[in-house]
């Protein structure tokens, strides 16, 4: 399967992919892995006022007042 | 066209109970229709004709003995091929699952079987409910019933296509970021994402466990409510399953909207992202119709759409990657390229982002609940654009960014897509109606009132006939 153009692979992408066990995916589809690294880096544009320090972690429930 | 083609569940159930139609004849008529039409549209991955005939025969005999089980008894249905059915592969539309065989039924399949429903087959989807329409898989993608060149929406594509074409009056899909409501939107039918925890997911291949929902896709709102009631309820085997019961969705279904308060989240499609003019015209007309029917309509503001989308995307990517990590490491060549691209996104999401997304979700859920203290339901658009060409990968990818379905997976409340008309090119338009957790009844009530007044669900696509036979389960 050849599903990607063969771009030059940045060293950080190669290292990250190997750490994550994705060497085969990188060889097969380098553009997809390069794109995934980029998306992972900028995926969460959360509001500035929201920080993990000030918010309590919690368990998700659609209806915490009920018996979910 | 036979008399069975666009029979609603409600009407068929009435006729079956009165023994005016036979479940066997009904099933045979739909199997013949599937054979004639589906090879052009590819809604089915497999047609379970032997199971269907046996189920129908059993239903007919039981009803003849005077043991009528309820409104799904003798009604044909089909499921997205992500639900386990004993003895059949749950392919997830993927090469990776071709040799799978389920050893038990998904809980919802068992519930439908217990209610006497008739399994017609298993339906096409985007690979693992996460890729997109592609020809790189062992089965072709489902086609849009209104124009075969267009995307039918996904990931529960086959459900939308089969429901709209009259191939199955009842279908079940799954919805992690809009995958029930998107095909309903694109195919001009009704798709409900129930409250998180209202319907069991046991025996359903997961995509992202804290966003996954099972939901019905049907041609009418009443049929959707009937199917929802048949599958909803506590299941101790699903850790997310709620112990509480939902209100009866049929009791006040046709009570109208007079006096109900409807909040419109217009900033999602007017400020946060610009939607297609025809989609906006559709929802604007629907709001005017609801006002005419006696509802009190007022604007509602939530956090910007981008915050809901970012929150949902991080959780979705991270949880989906956790599920598929080993196959992505060891068998990347067996995924379709479009699926590989989407799933790999989760490999590089930092754990800190996942934690932040969960914290943000808590705030957004509170915001959602607060908004619904002042109104009974919320209305907003579904897709921002008309369906794109099915073979345009870039346009399909844009489709999934330009929608406002994910907020309701993040919040977990019930949300239904209903048609609001047709574009100049004859393609369905749609909006969403969302409600308080476990208040599917009010959501269905508003949806029924609008659809009854508007009449869009009475239109059917002009269908093409097929030249070859569909696959049949061995």
Q: For B432-465, what is each residue's pLDDT tens digit?
A: 999 999 999 999 999 999 999 999 999 999 987 6
Q: What residues of chain A lie within 8 A of the CB of B344, using their CB?
A: 22, 25, 29, 32-33, 35-36
**Interface ipTM > 0.85:** no
Position B391 scores a pLDDT of: 93
Model confidence at B38: pLDDT above 70: yes
Percent of chain B whose predicted confidence (pLDDT) is above 70: 98
Lowest-pLDDT range of A2-6, A33-37, B306-310, B416-420 = A2-6
Cβ distance A1 to B337 less than 8 Å, yes or no, reads: yes
The pLDDT tens digits for A23-68 are 999 999 999 999 999 888 776 556 666 665 555 555 667 775 665 4
Q: What residues of chain A lie within 8 A of the CB of B411, using their CB?
A: 62
Q: What residues of chain A lie within 8 A of the CB of B307, using their CB?
A: 46-47
- Secondary structure of residue A6 in the 3-state scheme: coil
Lowest-pLDDT range of A8-22, A43-57, B140-154, B291-305 = A43-57
SS3 for chain B, per residue? CCCCCCCCHHHHHHHHHCCCCCHHHHHHHHHHHHHHHHHHHCCEEEECHHHHHHHHHHHHHHHHCCCCCCCCCCCEEEEECCECCCCCCCCCCCHHHCCCCCCCCCHHHHHHHHCCCEEEEEECCCHHHCCCCCCCCCCCCCCCCCCCCECCCCCCHHHHHHHHCCCCCEEEEEECCCCCHHHHHHHCCEEEECCCCCECCCCECCCCCCCCEEEEEECCHHHHHHHHHHHECCCCCCCCCCCCCCCCCCCCCCCCCCCCEEEECCHHHHHHCCCCHHHHHHHHHHHHHHHHCCCEEEECCCCCHHHHHHHHHHHHHHHHHHHHHHHHHHCHHHCCHHHHHHHHHHHHCCHHHHHHHHHHHHHHHHHHHHHHHHCCEEEEECECCCCCECCCHHHHHHHHHCECCHHHHHHCCCEEEEEEEECCCCCEEEEEEEECCCCHHHHHHHHHHHHHHHCHHHCCCCCCCCCCCCCECC
Q: Which residues 123-142 of B have a C-beta within 8 angstroms of A?
A: 136
Percent of chain B whose predicted confidence (pLDDT) is above 90: 89
Rounded Cα distance, A14 and A7, in Å: 12
Position A40 scores a pLDDT of: 80
Buried b (16+ CB within 10 A) or exposed e, A46-59: beeeeeeeeeeeee
Answer whether B432's CB lies under 8 Å from B415's CB: yes
Q: Catalytic annotation on B179?
A: yes
Catalytic residue chosen out of the listed positions B94, B115, B156, B179: B179
Cβ distance A66 to B244 less than 8 Å, yes or no, reads: yes
Nearest to B337 among A3, A22, A58 (CB): A3
Position A68 scores a pLDDT of: 44
B10 at A interface, C-beta within 8 A: no
> Between B263 and B473, where is the model more confident?
B263
Nearest to B333 among A1, A20, A47 (CB): A1
Half-sphere exposure of B463 (CA within 13 A, CB side): 25
Lowest-pLDDT range of B14-18, B170-174, B359-363 = B359-363
> Between A58 and B163, where is the model more confident?
B163
Optimal mutation site among A38, A43, A65, interface B, most CBs of chain B within 10 A = A43
Rounded Cα distance, B264 and B267, in Å: 9
- Which of B84, B163, B91 has the alpha carbon at shortest distance from B124? B91
Rounded Cα distance, B107 and B201, in Å: 7
Cβ distance B345 to A57 less than 8 Å, yes or no, reads: no
The pLDDT tens digits for B313-324 are 999 999 999 999
What global pTM score does this model have? 0.94
Reported as a pLDDT band with limits 50, 70 and 90, residue B246 is confident
Kindly report the nearest CA distance between residue A16 and chain B, in angstroms: 8
Cβ distance A62 to B365 less than 8 Å, yes or no, reads: yes
Q: Write down the mean pLDDT value for chain B.
A: 95
Optimal mutation site among A60, A65, A66, A67, interface B, most CBs of chain B within 10 A = A60
Cβ distance B362 to A60 less than 8 Å, yes or no, reads: yes
């Amino acid at each position: 399967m050849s599903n990607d153009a063969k771009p030059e692979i940045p060293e950080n992408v190669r290292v990250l992919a190997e750490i994550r066990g994705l060497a085969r995916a990188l060889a097969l589809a380098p553009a997809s892995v390069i794109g995934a690294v980029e998306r992972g880096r900028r995926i969460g544009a959360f509001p500035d006022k929201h920080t993990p320090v000030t918010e309590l972690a919690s368990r998700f429930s659609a209806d915490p007042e009920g018996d979910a | 066209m036979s008399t069975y083609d666009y029979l609603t569940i409600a009407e068929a159930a009435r006729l079956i109970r009165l023994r005016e139609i036979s479940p066997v004849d009904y099933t045979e008529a739909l199997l013949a229709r599937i054979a004639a039409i589906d090879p052009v549209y590819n809604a089915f991955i497999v047609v379970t004709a032997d199971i269907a005939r046996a189920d129908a025969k059993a239903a007919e005999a039981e009803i003849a003995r005077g043991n009528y089980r309820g409104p799904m008894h003798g009604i044909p249905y089909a499921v997205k091929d992500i639900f386990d059915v004993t003895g059949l592969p749950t392919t997830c539309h993927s090469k990776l699952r071709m040799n799978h065989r389920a050893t038990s039924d998904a809980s919802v399949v068992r519930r439908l079987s217990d209610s006497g429903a008739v399994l017609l087959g298993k339906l096409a989807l985007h690979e693992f409910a996460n890729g997109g329409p592609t020809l790189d898989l062992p089965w072709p993608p489902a086609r849009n019933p209104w124009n075969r060149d267009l995307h039918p929406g996904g990931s529960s594509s086959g459900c939308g296509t089969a429901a709209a074409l009259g191939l199955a009056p009842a279908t079940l899909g799954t919805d992690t970021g809009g995958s029930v409501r998107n095909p309903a939107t694109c195919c001009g039918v009704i798709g409900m994402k129930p409250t998180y925890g209202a319907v069991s997911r046991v025996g359903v291949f997961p995509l992202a466990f804290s966003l996954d929902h099972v939901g019905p896709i049907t041609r009418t709102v009443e049929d959707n409510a009937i199917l929802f009631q048949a599958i909803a309820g506590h299941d101790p085997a699903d850790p997310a399953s709620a112990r509480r019961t939902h209100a009866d969705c049929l009791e006040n279904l046709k009570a109208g909207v007079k006096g109900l308060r409807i909040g419109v989240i217009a900033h999602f499609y007017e400020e946060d992202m610009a939607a297609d003019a025809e989609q906006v015209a559709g929802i604007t007309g629907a709001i005017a119709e609801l006002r005419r029917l006696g509802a009190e309509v007022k604007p509602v503001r939530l956090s910007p759409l981008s915050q809901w989308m970012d929150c949902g995307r991080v959780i979705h990517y991270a949880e989906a990657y956790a599920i598929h990590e080993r196959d992505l490491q060891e068998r990347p060549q067996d995924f379709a390229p479009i699926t590989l691209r989407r799933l790999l996104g989760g490999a590089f999401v930092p754990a800190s982002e996942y934690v932040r997304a969960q914290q943000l979700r808590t705030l957004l859920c509170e915001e959602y609940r607060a908004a619904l203290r002042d109104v009974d339901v919320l209305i907003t658009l579904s897709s921002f654009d008309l369906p794109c060409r099915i073979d345009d990968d870039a346009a399909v990818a844009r489709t999934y960014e330009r929608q406002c379905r994910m907020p309701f997976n993040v919040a977990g409340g019930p949300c239904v897509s209903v048609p609001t008309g047709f574009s100049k090119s004859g393609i369905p338009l749609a909006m969403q109606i969302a409600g308080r957790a476990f208040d599917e009844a009010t959501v269905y009530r508003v949806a029924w009132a609008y659809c009854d007044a508007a009449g869009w669900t009475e239109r059917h696509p002009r269908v093409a006939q097929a030249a070859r036979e569909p696959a049949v389960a061995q």
